[in-house]
Amino acid sequence: MPTSEHGTTLRRRTVLTGGAVVGLGALTGCAGLTERVSSTSRGARDRLTVQVYGTDTETGIYQQLADRFAQEQGVTVDLTVVPFADFATGIDAGLISGTAPDVFRVDYPTMGLYSSTGQLLDVTEALGDLADDVPAALMAAVAHGDRSFGIPQHVDTSAVVVRPDLLRDAGITSVPDRLEDAWSWEEFADVADRLSQAAPDGTTPFGVNWQAAGAFRWLNFLFQAGGHLYDTDLSRAVVDDDAGRRALDFTASFFERGWVPDSTSTKSATYPDALFTSGKLAMLFAGNFLLPAFADTIGKRFEYAATYLPQDQRQASELGGNAIVASRQAVNADLAAEFLVFLASPEAMGDFCSASVLLPTRASLVERGLDFALGRDLMPVYADQIRTIEDRDVADVTTPTFAEVNVDLANELEETFLGGRPVDDTLRRLSEQVTAGASLNRASTA
Amino acid sequence: MSTVEARPRQRHGQRQGPRRDPRQHRGSSVTAWVMLAPNLLLLGLFLLVPLVWAFVLSFQAKRSFGGGTWAGLDNYTRLLRDDVFWRALLNTAVFTAITVPVTVVAGLALALLLDKALPGRGVFRTIVYLPIVVSTLVTSLIGLLLFDESIGIVNGVLADLGLGAVSWQSEGSLAMVSVIVMVLWTRIGFAMVVYIAALQDLDQEVLEAASVDGAGKWARVRLIVVPSLRPTTMFLLVVNMVWSFQIFDIVYVMTNGGPGYSTTMLVTYAYDEGFGPARNFGYGSTVGVVLFVLTLLITALQVRSSRKQDG
């Protein structure tokens, strides 16, 4: 190494200059340090960015519809598919940082958060015709106040999928085939008891689809018992009443009497449809969106049919499904609104729902009847079941904080289902949390 | 054994060696800062700024949309009364108390075993180390496949052996066991590799001398090997303790914190509050701050204890 001062200085200068040049080049070339990096991105005047989640069938038909719209309008539509579990985190970050996709899919329980906090494009005028063809309860799912912030693209609900072979073995030769003849809770309990006695080793009478984000499906039992989560003006909880007690007593008995596997509680990391397809359950409370998966995985190994959810004081089923909304920050808001209008058209909605085996929200499509790609014999049960959803049921599950209440349901119900906590304690805790949510709802709306 | 002479401590104000040219000294400093700058910038941007921000958020009522409002100590007051937080803290402590010693002891045992000239030693080392290079998400899914109560492999094997099914998912303590088993599977390999590297540096002459003096295998390990590996053990203890306090992915995928709150850990709770449907950034940050302080304290205590032992 040179020891002269001159030599050292030159060497250092060279190093510093070279380093600066290299560093500048690296910084310029590194997008992560020079521009915003996000998993979501906004579109442009002639380019829409769209984010969806769903099964392969659903995302495939979304791509077809996006291509069709792009061709008709002479624009580009960039469709991104994300897992359902990740969609909200990405959308939240995008909305906060101004990089949210122009259009995205959102489930009804999360819809209230975005619409109540002014994150979505108001499409009331653009979708004026849609409201004439969609039941008011379903339009309410995408509304905040008297304004609409998206299209209720489809609805899902649950029915009881049964294995006739195992039911026959238990001496049950038929299941209700009309909505009004649905089993009462007592009849359903009797069926479960008979299945318990007759089912082969390793088989459990049934499973309920209330795991994780599906915890709100417990509300089916609450509604059936004549109860509700909130009072009529959504200002406080009313779950801690006789109906709530009856619903929780009944559902807790599923675990106490061994009618359902313990691993199918509300916080379980696994879903019971895998148990049904592997032949471990005689019956399953299952959403219609699972029918394509059943067709694939069950094949001809055993036959299965569908019947209605049991009833108590009334009939009820959940408002599942998804809406399509546009971000208020969309670069070309008109184009985003046009895409929503396109997806809400009878043709596009019909194509999407028939291919994906989902129920359309347009009454005209329901009346006409769709040619479903699969499960043609089972879908009429779901179509009937959806008619049991009432306006107040929808209001309960579309509050701004319902996604949070949904987590509270999963946490608290499991304490009784698996932890043996008294029903009254769980209802009291739920009531406190729902009322706290109601306060936040009022604050967010104010 | 080689020895190093202690260098006399330099007195205050006393200079050693030829005096350096101030210009040369200043130039070296500039070079050093230029070299350090990119790392310091990244550390500041992605570590210190979020850390300070989390502290600020912990004093705010802040949800995902809209501005936060000053909440004083409200989040901390809620934390003290929050049963789930205390349960998560207890779970994390139990999880750490089990995983850290088992990882270190099993890692050392395997290292001692595979440090010998065994046939197929490389293959065994690879098998033990393999879980480290697999994504923890994949590990978690394997855990789910193994410990599923109804259709899992473990219960399937038990059924084939004529034994009853084990409630891996619906019994709290067993769910914790299943998580611990999967975590140990991913960590022991790393401990083993670090110990094997340290064993290579042991002075073989000392071990041979001990043998000549009549020390058995166990005595050599207990009285020579283990004390010599103290710095390595210290490193593994600190690293594993920090990892245990930060456990997230395996719990999140395998048990989702359940059944009930049996496997809820501090990080999964902070995540659920901050990034789950609650989107309560303020409270989530508060849990995170407590986790940070706890980790810092435990690490500092361990380092201090180690320094004392080293004299």
- A33-74 pLDDT, tens digit each: 434 334 677 777 789 999 999 988 899 999 999 999 999 999
**Same domain, yes or no: A310 and A326:** no
Q: Could you tell me if A378 and A123 are in contact, meaning their C-beta atoms sit under 8 angstroms apart?
A: no
Residue A78 contacts residue A47 (beta carbons within 8 Å): yes
pLDDT of B18 reads 57
Residues of chain B in contact with residue A415, where contact means CB-CB under 8 angstroms, are 260
Of A12, A19, A280, the CB nearest to B151: A280
pLDDT 10s digits, A322-381: 999 999 999 999 999 999 999 999 999 999 999 998 999 999 998 888 888 888 889 999
Which chain B residues are closer than 8 Å to A113 by Cβ?
Answer: 64-65, 279
Whether A18 is in a domain gets the answer no
- Which residues of chain A lie closer than 8 angstroms to B256, CB-CB? 212, 267-269
The residues spanned by each domain of chain B are 69-309
What percent of chain A is predicted at pLDDT more than 90?
62
Please give the pLDDT value at position A38: 44
SS3 assignment for A352-399: HHHHHCCEECCHHHHHHCCCCCCCCCCHHHHHHHHHHCCHHHHHHHCC
A9 belongs to a structural domain:
no
**What pLDDT score was predicted for residue A398?**
84
Q: State pLDDT tens for residues B255-292.
A: 989 898 999 999 999 998 888 887 889 999 999 999 99
Residue B79 has pLDDT above 80, yes or no: yes
Classify A320 as helix, strand or coil: strand
Same-domain pairing of A170 and A224: yes
User: A288 and A189 in one domain?
Assistant: yes
Last residue of a domain, one of A388, A407, A423: A388
Length of chain B in terms of residues written: 311
> Is A340 part of any domain?
yes
- Among chain B residues, the shortest Cα distance to A406 is held by B277
More confident residue, A446 or B56: B56
Q: Give the closest of A95, A267, A274 to B256, CB-based.
A: A267
Q: Let me know if residue A21 belongs to a domain.
A: no
B190 Cβ contact list (under 8 Å, min separation 6):
B107, B129, B132
Fold of B69-309: MetI-like fold (1.10.3720)
Q: How confident is the model at residue B64 (pLDDT cuts 50, 70, 90)?
A: confident
Do A332 and A349 share a domain, yes or no? yes
Which of residues A388, A418, A435 is at a domain's end?
A: A388
Q: Has residue A166 got a pLDDT over 50?
A: yes
CATH number for position A191: 3.40.190.10
Q: pLDDT value at position B5?
A: 45
**Does residue B53 have a pLDDT over 70?**
yes
For A166-192, what is the mean pLDDT? Answer: 95
- List the domain range (segments joined by +) for residue A81: 47-156+320-388
Could you tell me how many CB contacts below 8 A there are between chain A and chain B?
A: 93
Query: A445 pLDDT exceeds 80?
Result: no
pLDDT of the residue at B108: 94
Determine the distance in angstroms separating the CA of A294 from the nearest CA of chain B, rounded to an integer. Answer: 17
Q: What is the mean pLDDT of chain A?
A: 87
Tell whether A351 is covered by a domain. Answer: yes
Give A122-140 pLDDT, tens digit per residue.
999 988 889 899 988 888 8
Return the closest-CA partner of residue A441 out of A39, A115, A13, A4.
A115
What average pLDDT score do residues A165-177 get? 94
B34 touches chain A (CB under 8 A): yes
Residue A185 lies in a domain: yes
- Whether A250 is in a domain gets the answer yes
Task: Tell whether A133 lies on the interface with B, counting CB pairs under 8 A.
Answer: no
Closest-approach residue (CA) in chain A for B145: A270
On whether residue A310 sits in a domain, the answer given is yes
**Candidates A6, A27, A108, A263, partner chain B, best to mutate (most B CBs within 10 A):** A263
Q: Are residues A291 and A407 in the same domain?
A: yes
My answer on whether A290 and A194 are in the same domain is: yes
Strands A305-307 and A204-207: unpaired
Highest mean pLDDT out of A7-16, A167-176, B277-286: A167-176
- Residue A220's pLDDT band (cuts 50, 70, 90): very high
Among A388, A410, A432, the domain-final residue is A388
| Model confidence at B122: pLDDT above 70 | yes
Residue B164 in this model has a pLDDT that exceeds 90: no
What is the per-residue pLDDT for A11? 52
| pLDDT (tens digit per residue) in A79-107 | 999 988 778 888 998 998 899 999 999 99
Higher pLDDT pick, B177 / A293: B177
Share of chain B above pLDDT 90, in %: 51
CB contact under 8 A, A270 and B21: no
Residues A133 and A228 in one domain: no
Please check whether residue B65 touches A, CB under 8 A: yes
Number of domains making up chain A: 2
User: pTM of the predicted model, to two decimals?
Assistant: 0.79
- Across the interface, of A267, A275, A415, the residue whose CB is closest to B151 is A275
Pairwise pLDDT comparison (B105 vs A20), residue with the higher score: B105
Which chain B residues are within 8 Å of A92, Cβ to Cβ? 64-65, 279
pLDDT value of residue A75: 94
| Model confidence at B136: pLDDT above 90 | no
Closest CA to A110 of A178, A30, A53: A53
257-276 of A, contacting B, C-beta below 8 A: 261-263, 265, 267-270, 274-275
Within 8 A by CB and 6+ apart from B25, the residues are none
The answer on A190 and A223 residing in a single domain is: yes
